[in-house]
Amino acid sequence: MFKVRIEQKDIRRINRALSRVFRSVVGQQNVLPRDQAFQHTNLLIFNINHQSIIVYKTLNKRYREWKQKYGKGPGKFKYWVLFGDLLKNINTSQTRGMYFSGIRSGIYDTGGKSWLGQGDKGKPKEIGMYASENEKRRPVFGPTENEYAHSADRKKLVEKGARHILRSWR
């Protein structure tokens, strides 16, 4: 049998330290997810702009010719870019206390796109709809998510959060 003797001043000191750790954890609960969502958003935009993870077969001839005729700027030659609507709308958002990176539901493009390569026809379409269709054939969101999950940047953020919490214990 062991006897432990704790002085009252030690109990107060331990309780204060635990309280600081608790406040630190509560304070960090939004910081890490928010920062990770921002980093993921930036990586996704980078991967599209730089065509970093492109291992796709070439576009069919008719669509490639249409894209070069009607695409704007770099959209004439890049996957996932036509008029720039997708890139402009990739962002970080918060819903019900959770952070997300990508395209919000209900966001529409500028229109004027023909999936059949028939001129500049086409009414505005929901970006999330065609992003999910393209993801099946030419994935960029999934591979970017996997890349970020294993990235050094994500690991550094997690370590930074852990150090912040540990520093609160004195």
User: Where is pLDDT greater, at 115 or 159?
Assistant: 159
Q: Where are the alpha helices (DSSP H) in the chain?
A: 8-28, 31-50, 61-70, 85-89, 127-137, 141-149, 152-167
In a domain, 17, yes or no: yes
Number of domains in the chain: 1
In a domain, 92, yes or no: yes
In a domain, 2, yes or no: no
In a domain, 3, yes or no: no
Q: What is the pLDDT of residues 46-87, one digit of tens each?
A: 998 888 776 677 777 877 787 788 777 776 777 788 788 888
User: Nearest-CA neighbor of 44 among 2, 93, 86?
Assistant: 86
Q: What is the pLDDT of residues 129-141, one digit of tens each?
A: 877 777 777 788 8
Are 64 and 77 in contact by the 8 Å Cβ rule? The answer is: no
Contacts of 35 (CB under 8 A, 6+ apart): 157
Query: Hey, is 99 helix, strand or coil?
Result: strand
Residue range of the domain that includes 35: 8-167
Q: What is the pLDDT of residues 90-105, one digit of tens each?
A: 999 998 889 999 888 8
Q: What is the pLDDT of residues 40-56, one digit of tens each?
A: 999 999 998 888 776 67
In a domain, 1, yes or no: no
In a domain, 23, yes or no: yes
